[in-house]
Structure 1
Amino acid sequence: MTNRTLTLDDALHRYLLDVSLRESPLLERLRAETAALPTANWQIAPEQGQFMALLVRLLGARRVLEVGTYTGYSALVMAEALPEDGLVVCLDRAGNYHTIARRYWREAGVDARIQLRTGEALTCLEALEQEGGEAFDLVFIDADKANYPRYLEHALRLVRRGGLVLFDNVLWSGRVLQAEPDSDDTRGIQALNRALRDDPRVEISLLPLGDGLTLCRKC
C-alpha cells in the first residue's frame, strides 16, 4: 500500500494495459499509423482515450468540443461513446493529418457525429461563442500550450454548469518544474496550472495519466 501515486516502470505500464485496455482493432490501427509519423508524440495514450470515453458516458454527454484534433484518435473514442444524435465539434488548423482522421471516422461509422472546423483555435472559439454559450457537456483541449490560459476562459464560457473541461499535457514531460521555462508552451502550461489551483469557478483534479490530464468541473 502507498499514500502517493505510483511511478509506473515499463513492466507495470504493460500490466496496466494488459488488464484494462479495451482498444478496438480500428483504434489500434489508427494509433499504429500515427506512430509512424514524425509528430507521433502528439498522440494521446490509449488508456487516456479509454478514460475520456468513460467520462463522456458518465456525463451522459451529447455535445463535445475538441481543440486540437491531429489524426483523430481522441475525437473517434469520444464520438463512439456518444449517442446516435451526439456531436463532437473539432477545431484544428488545416493540415494533411485530417485525411487520416476522416478515413478512420468513416470506417468506424461515426463521421456523421464529428464536425471538423479548420482555422486558428482562438478565432474558432470566438465564433462558437457567438453561436451560443454553455452549449457543450465536455471540452477537451490539446492544442498549442502557450494559449492554454486563454483556452480556459473560452472553454468556461462554452461548457455547461456541471460539465467538464479537460486539459492534456499538463505535466509536460516534467518541464513544468523548470524555474526558467524554455518555451512559451512551458510558460503557458505553468500559468494554467497555477491559475486552476485557486480558481473558484471549477473543481479540479490533475491526474498523472499520459502526460498529465487535468479535469475541471464547472461549478
Structure 2
Amino acid sequence: MTESKNPPLTPELYAYVLEHNPPLDPVQRELVDFTHTRFADDAGLQTAQEQGPLLSFLVRLVGARRIVEVGTFTGFSTLSMALALPEDGRIIACDISEEWTAVGREAWAKAGVADRVDLRIAPALDTLRALPDDEPWIDLSFLDADKENYPLYWEELVRRTRPGGLLVADNTLLHGSVVTDTNSDGRAAAMRAFNELVLTDERVEAVLLTVADGVTLARRTGA
C-alpha cells in the first residue's frame, strides 16, 4: 500500500519550515518581496523561498564551481547559488527576458556577486548547444524553465555534467497535475514524459522529492 508520511502543509507549518531553515540574507529577502510586488501576476515563477537555502547547500555539498541555470526569472535562485560559490566560481544563467533579469542584475550587484554570474539572454537551447562539449565540465545545473523543453535541456546538460555532478530540476510534480491531468498533451504530459526520461536514464541516479512543487535531484554517474 502506498502511504505518505507528508503532513498537510498549512501556513503555520510552512512558516515553521522557513523559520528552521537558514534565513535569507537581506538582498535575498528584498528580491523575494520586490518580485511579489512588482511582478505579482508572475511571482509564481520564482523559486520557492525554502529552495534558496537548499540550492546554496547543494552548491557547497558538491563543491560546485561551474554552474548552469536554465530559467532565471528575477534571479533569486541565481543569487542563492552565487552566494555559495567560491570567488572564482561562475554561473551561466540562461533566460530570454531582459525585464525580469534586470531585477536580478541589481540584486547580484548589491550582494557583491555580479562577477560570478554570466547572464545570457537568448533561447536557452541555443545557449546550451553552444557550450563546450569536448569533455564533461558542469558541476551543478538547475533547470527551471519551460516544461515542454525539459527533455531537450536535460540532454544538453547531462552530457556536459562531470561524473559526480548534480542536476536539479524544479516543478517536477507540477502542482500535482502529473497525476490529476490525464490529457496526452500539454504541460502535465510533458512533465510526465520528462520524469520517465530521468527515471530510465542510465547515466544518472535520481530521486524525485516532494519539496515545494517537486524537485528532482540527479547525480551523474560514470555511465
TM-score interval (norm. to shorter): over 0.9
Instruction: State the 1:182 CA deviation.
Output: 6.0
SS in 1 for 2:201: coil
Instruction: State the 1:195 CA deviation.
Output: 1.6
Unpaired segments ≥5 residues, structure 2: none
Task: Return the match for 2:152 from 150, 159, 162.
Answer: 150
Q: In structure 1, what is the equivalent of residue 173 of structure 2?
A: 171
1:129–1:157 Cα contact (<8 Å) kept: no
2:73–2:97 Cα contact (<8 Å) kept: no
Instruction: State the 1:3 CA deviation.
Output: 6.6
Quote the Cα distance in structure 2 between the aligned partners of 1:48 and 1:161.
24
Instruction: State the 1:94 CA deviation.
Output: 3.4
Instruction: State the 1:186 CA deviation.
Output: 2.0
Q: What is the aligned-residue identity percentage?
A: 40
Q: In structure 1, what is the equivalent of residue 111 of structure 2?
A: 108
Greater shift in the superposed pair: 13-22 or 205-214:
13-22
1:175–1:186 Cα contact (<8 Å) kept: yes
Q: In structure 1, what is the equivalent of residue 29 of structure 2?
A: 28
Task: Tell me how many residue pairs correspond in the alignment.
Answer: 216
2:21–2:53 Cα contact (<8 Å) kept: no
Quote the Cα distance in structure 1 between the aligned partners of 2:95 and 2:19.
33
The structure-2 alpha-carbon separation of the partners of 1:106 and 1:200, relative to structure 1 and needing over 3 Å to count, comes to: same
Instruction: State the 1:181 CA deviation.
Output: 4.8
Runs of 4+ in 1 over 6 A off after TM superposition: none
The structure-2 alpha-carbon separation of the partners of 1:180 and 1:3, relative to structure 1 and needing over 3 Å to count, comes to: closer
Instruction: State the 1:20 CA deviation.
Output: 2.0
Quote the Cα distance in structure 1 between the aligned partners of 2:135 and 2:123.
19
1:21–1:46 Cα contact (<8 Å) kept: no
Q: In structure 2, what is the equivalent of residue 213 of structure 1?
A: 215
Aligned 1:1-219 pairs, distance under 5 A = 4-36=5-37, 37=39, 38-129=41-132, 132-177=134-179, 178-181=181-184, 183=186, 185-219=187-221
Instruction: State the 1:208 CA deviation.
Output: 1.1
SS in 2 for 1:128: coil
Unpaired segments ≥5 residues, structure 1: none
Deviations 1:6-54 (A, max 9, x none): 3322211111112224111111110001112121000011111111100
Deviations 1:106-136 (A, max 9, x none): 0000000100011111111100145x44121
SS in 1 for 2:67: strand
Instruction: State the 1:210 CA deviation.
Output: 1.3
Quote the Cα distance in structure 1 between the aligned partners of 2:95 and 2:125.
10
